[in-house]
């Protein structure tokens, strides 16, 4: 019999729900928290998370609650699955119930606007002694919930802690690697959402596969350039949390960032496009943060800059493509 653990999942969006199903399937006692009581009641009534993960039956063993203390207290592990810009607020509310010895696994992918901090840095500000782990990689919730083969990576300051969380999640359908580069894993997961917006915009404009391939390839160059400047390791960006996550997010219709980009490319205003998606589009906020970081570190990130300007109405999407294509001629490996 597997060593059963008590796990609190903070956030009942699509990915939090899917990972709760993975953990419950391993025999763990899982409690899922949502901010809205009516969301929890609907999930209890229907046995599904219809808004975020429709047509997927939830295991009856999963406990559902709108009481944050109940979800956090007495747990062996905590899984945070709230939007990146909500992470600090939820963490601050949960902190009074968190035992510092309990590992906190975060799956949100973003950079905090204003502070420009990675989410591990945000967590450390709220609880300096926290045992923090990032889980990232190409892992659409819709496929994880249906037990389709998925591979991710976990990163922490402690290799032992990363291995502990690797074992917690590992199944024959959910393969987990460890990675020592916490900075790179976090940045890769955040920055690829910007490029996915760009890939969607390209699709929405009808520019074809060649343009999207170029967007993705030059996008990983930008991601790597900023990552190296901020202390990440180059190899991370050629792994699951870099190019792997970039590929799936730029090519799949499961990707809300790509879908939002398609709408923008078709002429829908960014704010209206986000509303139509009906869920948080992390690439919108991350574009603002990454644009600010590029200026702070004096780094050339033309795709990020263009998407930022499109989002803020400073540049038309079609003109942005002309700007990118018409830039001065360079060597492909220029200043990676």
* Domains in the chain, CATH or no CATH each: 6-180 (3.40.50.720), 183-325 (1.10.1040.10)
What are the tokens at 273? 């496009």
pLDDT for residue 29 = 98
DSSP calls for 55-69: EEEPPTT-EEES-HH
Percent pLDDT > 90 in the chain is: 93
137 by DSSP, 3-state: which?
Answer: coil
192 given a catalytic annotation: yes
Query: How do residues 110-124 score in pLDDT, each as one tens digit?
Result: 999 999 999 999 999
pLDDT for residue 332 = 81
Among the listed residues 194, 192, 188, the one whose alpha carbon sits nearest the alpha carbon of residue 284 = 194
pLDDT for residue 327 = 81
Which segments of the chain have a pLDDT < 70?
A: 1-2, 335-336
Reduced DSSP (H G I as helix, E B as strand, rest coil) percent helix, strand, coil of the chain, to 5: 55, 15, 35
Enumerate the β-bridge partners of residue 156. 133
pLDDT for residue 330 = 84
What are the tokens at 200? 């969607």
pLDDT for residue 333 = 78
Q: Active site residue: 75, 192, 212, 309, which one? A: 192
pLDDT for residue 320 = 87
Query: How do residues 138-155 score in pLDDT, each as one tens digit?
Result: 999 999 999 999 999 999
Query: How do residues 46-65 score in pLDDT, each as one tens digit?
Result: 999 999 999 999 999 999 99
pLDDT for residue 1 = 43
pLDDT for residue 335 = 62
Distance CA 332, CA 336 (A): 9
CA distances from residue 56 to 16, 98, 259, 283 in whole angstroms, order as listed: 13, 30, 21, 26
CA distances from residue 46 to 24, 31, 273 in whole angstroms, order as listed: 18, 17, 29
The length of the chain is 336
Residue with token string 């050629």:
238
């Amino acid at each position: 019999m597997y060593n059963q653990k008590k796990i609190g999942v903070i956030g009942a969006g699509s990915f939090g729900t899917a990972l709760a199903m993975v953990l419950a399937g391993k025999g763990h006692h899982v409690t899922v928290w949502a901010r809205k009581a009516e969301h929890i009641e609907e999930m209890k009534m229907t046995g599904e998370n219809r808004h975020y993960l429709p047509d997927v039956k939830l295991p009856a063993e999963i406990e559902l609650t709108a009481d944050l203390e109940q979800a956090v207290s007495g747990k062996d592990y905590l899984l945070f699955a709230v939007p990146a810009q909500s992470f600090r607020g939820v963490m601050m509310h949960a902190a009074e119930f968190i035992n510092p010895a309990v590992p906190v696994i975060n799956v949100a992918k973003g950079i905090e606007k204003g502070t420009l901090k990675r989410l591990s840095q945000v967590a450390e500000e709220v609880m300096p002694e926290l045992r923090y782990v990032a889980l990232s990689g190409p892992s659409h919730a819709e496929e994880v919930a249906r037990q389709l083969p998925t591979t991710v990576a976990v990163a922490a300051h402690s290799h032992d802690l990363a291995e502990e969380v690797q074992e917690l999640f590992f199944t024959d359908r959910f393969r987990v690697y460890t990675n020592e580069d916490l900075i790179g894993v976090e940045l890769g997961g955040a920055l690829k959402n910007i490029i996915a917006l760009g890939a969607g915009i390209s699709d929405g404009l009808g520019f074809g596969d060649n343009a999207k391939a170029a967007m993705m390839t030059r996008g990983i160059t930008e991601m790597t350039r900023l990552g190296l400047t901020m202390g990440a390791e180059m190899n991370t960006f050629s792994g699951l949390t870099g190019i792997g996550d970039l590929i799936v997010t730029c090519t799949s219709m499961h990707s809300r960032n790509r879908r939002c980009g398609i709408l923008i490319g078709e002429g829908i205003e960014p704010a209206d496009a986000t509303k139509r998606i009906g869920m948080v589009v992390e690439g919108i906020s991350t574009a603002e943060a990454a644009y600010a970081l590029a200026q702070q570190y004096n780094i050339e990130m033309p795709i990020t800059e263009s998407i930022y300007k499109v989002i803020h109405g400073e540049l038309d999407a079609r003109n942005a493509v002309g700007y990118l294509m018409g830039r001065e001629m360079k060597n492909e490996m220029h200043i990676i």
